[in-house]
C-alpha cells in the first residue's frame, strides 16, 4: 500500500510539475508579451488623444511662444497617416533664395517640440526648416511606432508632397534622432532628392530596436526574448517585415554621417556598415550624451555638409 501511494504521489508530482511548466511557458511567451509589447510600441499615453486615428488640430502655439513663426501643413501619407508638419522659412530680406532645406525628425517617445532648439540657428543660417510629429507621436495620427521602415516611407511621402508644391530648396539635408535616424537613412535609399543624411544614434537593425525598447521598458529577458517580443510585435501590428540583423544591412549610398554613443561605436551594425559602404558616403563619429554638446555637433555637421555640397556644385 505504501509503495502504491508512493507511486501515485510521484505521478501527481510529475503531472503537477509538467502543468506548472506549461503554465510558465504560456505566461512568459504569450500572456506577458501580449500585455507588454503594445506598451513599448504604441504612442505615449500622455498624449491625451482618445482616438489617435482622428484628425487633430495642428497647433503651433508652443513654437510661436518660442519666438518662431511656422506655416502649418497636415500631410496624408500613402498609408493614410496624417503628419502634423511645420514649415519654417528664413528671413527673406536676408536670404533670398534660401540656402537649402533641413528636415528634422525627433527622437523616440517625444514629439516635434524636442527639436525646437535646432530651428532658430538653422533659420539664421538661411535654411528652410521642416519639423513634424512622426507617426503615432504628438499631433500626427497612427497608433504604433515601427522599426523605421514605415517612418522612412512617411518621410518619402512628405518630400514628394513638398516638392510638388515647390516648397523645397536644394540641397535637402535629412536629420534624425533614434528612430528618426533610421527613418532618414531608410528614406535616403528611396528618395534621390535627399542630398545628405545626419543620423544620431540610429538602431540600424530591427533586432537592436526591439532589444533597446526591451531594455528601456525593463522587460523580462526570457530565453529567446528578442524573437518572442518581435514576433508579438508583428502579430499585434500586422508589420510585414522580418526581423533584421547586422548582416541584413545594405550599403549607404547617400552622403551620411552617423553619430553613435561611445559604447555603440563598435556594435555589429556599425562594423557591418563600415565594411559594405564606400568611405566617401559614410562617416561614423562618436556623440556626446549632453544635449547642448549634441546640438552643437549636429549644427556644425549640417553647416559642414552644406559647405561641402556647395563646393561640389561649384
In a domain, 22, yes or no: no
In a domain, 309, yes or no: yes
In a domain, 308, yes or no: yes
- pTM, full prediction: 0.90
In a domain, 99, yes or no: yes
In a domain, 231, yes or no: no
pLDDT interval class at 47 (50, 70, 90) = very low
Residue range of the domain that includes 135: 61-205+244-313
CATH code, domain carrying 260: 3.40.50.1820
In a domain, 8, yes or no: no
In a domain, 18, yes or no: no
**Can you give the chain as a three-state secondary structure string?**
CHHHHHHHHHHHHHHHHHHHHHHHHHHHHHHHHHHHHHHHHECCHHHCCCCCCCCCCCCCHHHHHCCCCCEEEEEECCCCCEEEEEEECCCCCCCCCCCEEEEEECCCCCCHHHHHHHHHHHHHCCEEEEEECCCCCCCCCCCECCCCHHHHHHHHHHHHHHHHCCCCCCCEEEEEECHHHHHHHHHHHHCCCEEEEEEECCCCCHHHHHHHHHHHCCCCCCCCHHHHHHHHHHHHHCCCCCCCCHHHCCCCCCEEEEEECHHHCCCHHHHHHHHHCCCCCEEEEECCCCHHHHHHHHHHHHHHHHHHHHHHHC
pLDDT interval class at 50 (50, 70, 90) = very low
pLDDT interval class at 184 (50, 70, 90) = very high
- Per residue in 133-179, pLDDT (tens digit) is 999 999 999 999 999 999 999 999 999 999 999 999 999 999 999 99
In a domain, 190, yes or no: yes
Number of structural domains (the chain) is 1
Amino acid at each position: 500500500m505504501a509503495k502504491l501511494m508512493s507511486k501515485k504521489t510521484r505521478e501527481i508530482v510529475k503531472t503537477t510539475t509538467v502543468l506548472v511548466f506549461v503554465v510558465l511557458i504560456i505566461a512568459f511567451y504569450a500572456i506577458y508579451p501580449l500585455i507588454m509589447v503594445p506598451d513599448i510600441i504604441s504612442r505615449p499615453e500622455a498624449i491625451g488623444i482618445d482616438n489617435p486615428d482622428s484628425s487633430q488640430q495642428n497647433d503651433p502655439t508652443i513654437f510661436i511662444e518660442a519666438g518662431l513663426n511656422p506655416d502649418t501643413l497636415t500631410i496624408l501619407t500613402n498609408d493614410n497617416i496624417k503628419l502634423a508638419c511645420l514649415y519654417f522659412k528664413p528671413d527673406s530680406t536676408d536670404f533670398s533664395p534660401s540656402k537649402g532645406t533641413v528636415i528634422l525628425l525627433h527622437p523616440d517617445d517625444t514629439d516635434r517640440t524636442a527639436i525646437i532648439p535646432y530651428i532658430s540657428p538653422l533659420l539664421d543660417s538661411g535654411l528652410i526648416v521642416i519639423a513634424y510629429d512622426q507617426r503615432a507621436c504628438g499631433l500626427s495620427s497612427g497608433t504604433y511606432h515601427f522599426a523605421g521602415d514605415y517612418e522612412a516611407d512617411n518621410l518619402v511621402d512628405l518630400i514628394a508632397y513638398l516638392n510638388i508644391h515647390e516648397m523645397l530648396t536644394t540641397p535637402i539635408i535629412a536629420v534624425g534622432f533614434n528612430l528618426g535616424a533610421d527613418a532618414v537613412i531608410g528614406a535616403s535609399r528611396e528618395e534621390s532628392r535627399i542630398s545628405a543624411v545626419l543620423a544620431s544614434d540610429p538602431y540600424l537593425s530591427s533586432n537592436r530596436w526591439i532589444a533597446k525598447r526591451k531594455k528601456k521598458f525593463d522587460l523580462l529577458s526570457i530565453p529567446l526574448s528578442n524573437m518572442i517580443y518581435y514576433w508579438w510585435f508583428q502579430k499585434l501590428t500586422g508589420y510585414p517585415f522580418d526581423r533584421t540583423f547586422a548582416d541584413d544591412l545594405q550599403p549607404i549610398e547617400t552622403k551620411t554621417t552617423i553619430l553613435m554613443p561611445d559604447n555603440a561605436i563598435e556594435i555589429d551594425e556599425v562594423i557591418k556598415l563600415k565594411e559594405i559602404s564606400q568611405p566617401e558616403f559614410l562617416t561614423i563619429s562618436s556623440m556626446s550624451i549632453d544635449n547642448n554638446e549634441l546640438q552643437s555637433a549636429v549644427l556644425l555637421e549640417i553647416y559642414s555638409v552644406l559647405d561641402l555640397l556647395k563646393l561640389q556644385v561649384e
